[in-house]
Homo-oligomer: A and B are copies of this chain.
Amino acid sequence: MALIVQKYGGTSVGSVERIKHVAERVAKFKMLGHQVVVVVSAMSGETNRLIDLAKKIQKDPDPREMDVLISTGEQVTIALLTMALKDLGLKARSYTGGQVRILTDSAHTKARILGIDEDNIRADLNAGKVIVVAGFQGVDEAGNITTLGRGGSDTTGVALAAALKADECQIYTDVDGVYTTDPRIVPEARRLKTITFEEMLEMASLGSKVLQIRSVEFAGKYKVKLRVLSSFQEEGEGTLITFEEENNMEQAIISGIAFNRDEAKITVLGVPDTPGVAYQILGPVADTNIDVDMIIQNTGANNTTDFTFTVHRNEYARAMQLLNGMQPQIKAREIKGDDKIAKVSIVGVGMRSHVGIASTMFKTLAEEGINIQMISTSEIKISVVIDEKYLELAVRVLHKAFNLENAG
């Protein structure tokens, strides 16, 4: 008998039929003798509907009241799912974040979990009940309703699993696991049976978007066994996220290939090469709340330097305007921008101990005539920025070059 925390996202509970389907899946686990805690999101579309209502009333809605408003979305789902479980003859009970007592700080709309009072849940579990908890929400010390920010239901699931010392936290999504890359681009892409926590972090932040980064960090901190599964497939073991590198000779060097086309690049050419230039350029960007991803600086000619960084494509216009306005002040020769770029990354803990990964990557791209515009590396990933039009080609040839379709 195991204690399992299952988290179902908005699409998985998006209709009456899907809620019933989730109830049947939970019932199966219960019938196997497991204890089950279910964490659910709001029905898909509901949170956006509520936010739209709020914005019609207040342009910049009050954060405390926003949390009172949007926390109703998950509250609806826990009631409906608990009814569905009872309709199947199971004992079940719903809990709002406040009823569990998921204690958070008071940072409305982006609160952090401080602690979970798991006593009531444990007593109900021992009484044979399925527990249904509203994800995404908590209460602060004064009893105000708080929410954890978008994707916070994953975090609720992991935090509950940690507090209850659950055997596994299963995150049900609309994909059946983490793949070596997007199967829509590479049909040979393969589901990974396991992926390390570090790789998952790189995959998520690179746009794989299967799990919210914060929940993965949380799982890593509390060593929660995390599994990604599909809520639409009956079978399948999904992908397990591990926290200890297994000393496995068979382990693939590269686990997967991530990519995104959400970025745009801005290059500042011919800036005087003096200390503080990076801050001069990026300080004002940060001050206007534009997030910067990659940053590269190269020495140029005549004691000048060239400086390139990427921003989200949605903020490209704003960033270019800002930089053009700063040009005289930072004494740049030229400001250039390009929003037709894509980032491709190879990720794998194996590359730590293997030389030649980078050169294989660069060689593979060169053979296809794909020019590399930027390079950035970390211990377990190498990212390159290329012309957007080569994105699919690059992902396909790299997937083949690293033999990802056969590994595992």
Which residues of A come within 8 Å of B, CB atoms? 16, 19-20, 50, 53-54, 56-59, 61-62, 64-66, 68-69, 71-72, 75-76, 78-80, 82-84, 86-87, 93-94, 96, 98-99, 143-145
Contact = CB atoms under 8 A, between A and B. Distances in A.
A49 to B, nearest CB: 10
A68 B82 CA distance: 10
Q: Which of A19, A57, A84 has the most CB of B within 10 A?
A: A57
13 contacts: A19-B57, A54-B80, A57-B83, A58-B87, A64-B93, A65-B86, A66-B79, A66-B83, A68-B75, A68-B78, A68-B96, A69-B76, A69-B80
B69 A50 contact: no
Given A72-B76, A76-B69, A16 B57 contact: yes
B83 A54 contact: yes
Contacts of A143: 99
Nearest to A132: B65
Contact of A84 (B19, B58, B82, B93): B58
A-B pairs, top 5 by smallest CB distance, nearest first, are A69-B79, A72-B72, A68-B79, A58-B83, A65-B79
Copies of this chain in its oligomeric complex: 2
Given A58-B83, A98-B98, A16 B53 contact: yes
B80 A53 contact: yes
Contact of A65 (B62, B64, B94): B94
Contacts of A76: 50, 53, 69, 72
A108 to B, nearest CB: 12
A275 to B, nearest CB: 47
A57 B80 contact: yes
A87 to B, nearest CB: 5
Contacts of A58: 83-84, 86-87
A62 B79 CA distance: 9
Contacts of A65: 78-80, 82-83, 86, 94
